[in-house]
Amino acid sequence: MSESATIVDLRSDTVTRPTPAMRRAIAEAEVGDDVLGDDPTGIELERRVAALAGREAALFVPSGTMGNQLAIRCQIEPGDEVLLEAESHIFFYEQGGVAANSGGLAHVVKGTRGALDPACIEAALRGEDDHNARLALVCAENTHNRAGGAVVPLESLRLLAAAARAHGLSVHLDGARLWNASVASGVPIRDWAAEADTVMMCFSKGLGAPVGSILVGDAALIRRARRARKRWGGGMRQVGILAAACLHALDHHVDRLADDHRRAHALARGFERVAGVSVIAPETNIVFVVLDDPSIAPDAVLRSLASSGVRMSQYGPRRLRAITHLDVDDAGVARAVVAFEEACRAAARGSRVDAPQGPC
Ligand SMILES: Cc1ncc(COP(=O)(O)O)c(C=O)c1O
């Protein structure tokens, strides 16, 4: 049996392997040269996602990071400010790309469960004085990864976007997991997309494709993003090979995200029963566990889990993350719960044995 068949890998929803049906779709893809504008499968994917999002155009990109960074590059001038949630992926995990790729200044504000308060826009504006940087772009994230896969409510995004527009600012939505937000809330992708100038969505996370993300927006902006993508080395040739996997994911892997959400709840219920830990209630496919008991060391838990064939990741000094996805079934969830309970018990026991002993 292959390693992937025996390991319950909850580190991320990016670890999925293409299913046999997806591999067939890849093998049979009709391809051309996308840089020359004639890869039919790449064109079909961009057309289909633009329509799904109710926007004029779309651009296929190799990664969510490139999609986010292109959106920023196309909507600010060097020296402009970008308003970001303090725990957003763009601020936390994109290597200062706002500055490095676009010459922008990150203005970060703490949100609530990932949602920015629209009042923070007014507070961030500093007037026309020539000393000041100009706030040009507001970025939101949905679902919000570091807020535990929280769904930022549509109404909250609407109010944020309205406040941004009232001041002539653009809005970008990092929707790496917008599919999860849509399935969990029942709100169609196009309703979220209507609130932003640009939206980035990933196929390589819950949808289970090996590679690929997409940026949607109006035709002129996507044209500029296409040029910038080429300059950044992201022009791909027989891109239909990748796009076929994404089209297959759109056909077969969107509705099933509800199974991932159900399994995340099952994981959370199992983890909650373990003494000394608390769980941040999941809304989608991400479960955060906080090791409240100081005698349970995160690295010891992760090591013990790994020895039972279960992988999770550390997300803060005392916080672990588990994400459900296409390659985790009900049996995997049950195994992870048992392994987690045992790992916490063993870690607590170990720390008591290791604790310095006083004079007897
Ligand atoms: C919210 C969010 N945005 C963007 C990204 C970046 O995607 P990629 O890893 O494809 O660059 C991620 C990756 O996990 C993410 O979680």
When pLDDT is averaged across residues 201-228 and rounded to a whole number, the result is: 98
The answer, yes or no, to whether any atom of ligand 1 lies below 6 A from the CB of 197, is no
Can you give the pLDDT at residue 1?
52
More confident residue, 6 or 217: 217
Question: 258 C-alpha to center of ligand 1: Å?
Answer: 20
User: What mean pLDDT value characterizes the chain?
Assistant: 95
Tell me the pLDDT tens digit for each residue of 49-79: 999 999 999 999 999 999 999 999 999 999 9
Tell me the pLDDT tens digit for each residue of 315-352: 999 999 999 999 999 999 999 999 999 999 999 887 66
Q: In testing the pocket of ligand 1, which one of 69, 93, 141, 152 has its CB within 8 Å of the most ligand atoms?
A: 93
213 Cα nearest atom in ligand 1: 10
The answer, yes or no, to whether any atom of ligand 1 lies below 6 A from the CB of 85, is no
When pLDDT is averaged across residues 289-296 and rounded to a whole number, the result is: 96
Atom 7 of ligand 1, residue of closest alpha carbon: 64
Q: What percent of the chain has pLDDT over 90?
A: 94
Assess whether pLDDT exceeds 70 at residue 268: yes
Catalogue all structural domains in the chain, each as residue range(s) with its CATH number: 3-13+256-351 (3.90.1150.10), 31-252 (3.40.640.10)
| CA dihedral sign, ordered 172, 174, 178, 180 | negative
Please state, in angstroms and rounded to a whole number, the distance separating the CA atoms of residues 348 and 278: 15
Question: 67 C-alpha to center of ligand 1: Å?
Answer: 9
Question: 208 C-alpha to center of ligand 1: Å?
Answer: 14
Residue 278 CA: distances (Å) to CA of 39, 151, 194, 283: 49, 20, 37, 16
Question: 177 C-alpha to center of ligand 1: Å?
Answer: 9
Tell me the pLDDT tens digit for each residue of 75-109: 999 999 999 999 999 999 999 999 999 999 999 99
Can you give the pLDDT at residue 355?
43
Can you give the pLDDT at residue 356?
42
